[in-house]
Amino acid sequence: MPAVAHSHLDHHRAGSGEPLVLIHGIGHTWRGWKPMLPLLEQSFDVLAVDLPGHGRSQPFPPGLESTIDALADSVEQEMDAAGFGTAHIAGNSLGGWITLELARRGRAATATAISPAGLALPREQALGLNILRAVRWIARSAPATEEQLRNPVARTLLAGPHLGKPWKADPADLVEQGEMFANAPGFDATLPYLEGQQPRGLNEIECPVLLVWGTKDVVLFPRQGRRFERLIPDAELRYVKGLGHVPMSDDPEYLSEAIASFAARRAATPRREQPAAAPV
């Protein structure tokens, strides 16, 4: 059980089948998963959450810092409220890091981490965080309008570096998500806890893990995927051509199928045991 209580998170829940929890990245919202929801809800009881201080979820109360542990606690509480002892869990960026933390805690039947944060070298991390800060500054100082974003060319220029195929994104969704990104108190509260921090206990994860990385990710570099693959026992790493850092609208069909097929194929498959050392 989480050590710290927090009010319920704003969330979307629909569909039927085995439970699936979706976790967004820093500054984002569960609404970023909207292109995938109709597909996932055909196979899963989907719970997509807004992390504290993101979307329409209230920020943490004074005195409670927005650390990875606290964010994971908040998702655990929402899982408990939904009646999910364990669930298939998928997360993007910061949500990918939280997904792996929940897997370490034993809450995941399978874990799909899409460009998970963590394991960046100092210069890589500084570049990625500076890109996030720049995108946030633009979202706050010069937000794009839906009229501007209806033009596919303008959408490609204005949607920012986080999408691999911005022309495929829905203009209204981009405006809504941009407004939430610009005004998310959780962005500033969480960012300091990403600097210089690394995921812990990756070698303790016992559930099947799928790592998905878009080749056009310019916030978290695709080469970071190899680092996760080396540390997580029996992890499966896939590089997907043309996907960006936040790829849910880039190719919702591929990502939905990847989550569903991995869950079906691997949920009942135990992690391969390491061979025992030969007797001396």
**The token pair that represents 263 in the structure block:** 């869950």
pLDDT on residue 6? 54
pTM of the model: 0.91
Q: Is the confidence at residue 275, as pLDDT, over 60?
A: no
Q: Which tens digit of pLDDT belongs to each residue from 245-266? A: 999 999 999 999 999 999 998 7
Mean of pLDDT values over 133-152: 86
**Strand ranges in 141-257 using DSSP code E only, listed in sequence order:** 209-214, 236-240
Query: What is the widest separation between alpha-carbon atoms in the chain?
Result: 73
Instruction: Measure the CA–CA gap between 138 and 102, rounded to whole angstroms.
Output: 33
CB 245 within 8 A of CB 161: yes
Centre a 10 Å sphere on the Cβ of residue 276 and count the other Cβ atoms it contains.
6
**Strand ranges in the chain using DSSP code E only, listed in sequence order:** 11-15, 18-23, 44-49, 87-92, 108-114, 209-214, 236-240
pLDDT on residue 2? 47
Instruction: Measure the CA–CA gap between 55 and 81, rounded to whole angstroms.
Output: 19
Q: Is the confidence at residue 99, as pLDDT, over 90?
A: yes
CB 141 within 8 A of CB 239: no
Q: Is the confidence at residue 268, as pLDDT, over 70?
A: no
- Cβ within 8 Å of residue 113, ≥6 positions away: 90, 91, 96, 97, 99, 100, 209, 210, 211, 212, 228
Among 78-87, 132-141, 193-202, name the most confident range: 78-87
Q: Which tens digit of pLDDT belongs to each residue from 171-226? A: 899 999 989 999 999 999 999 999 878 899 999 999 999 999 999 998 999 999 99
How does DSSP classify residue 243?
-
pLDDT on residue 197? 83
CB 37 within 8 A of CB 256: no
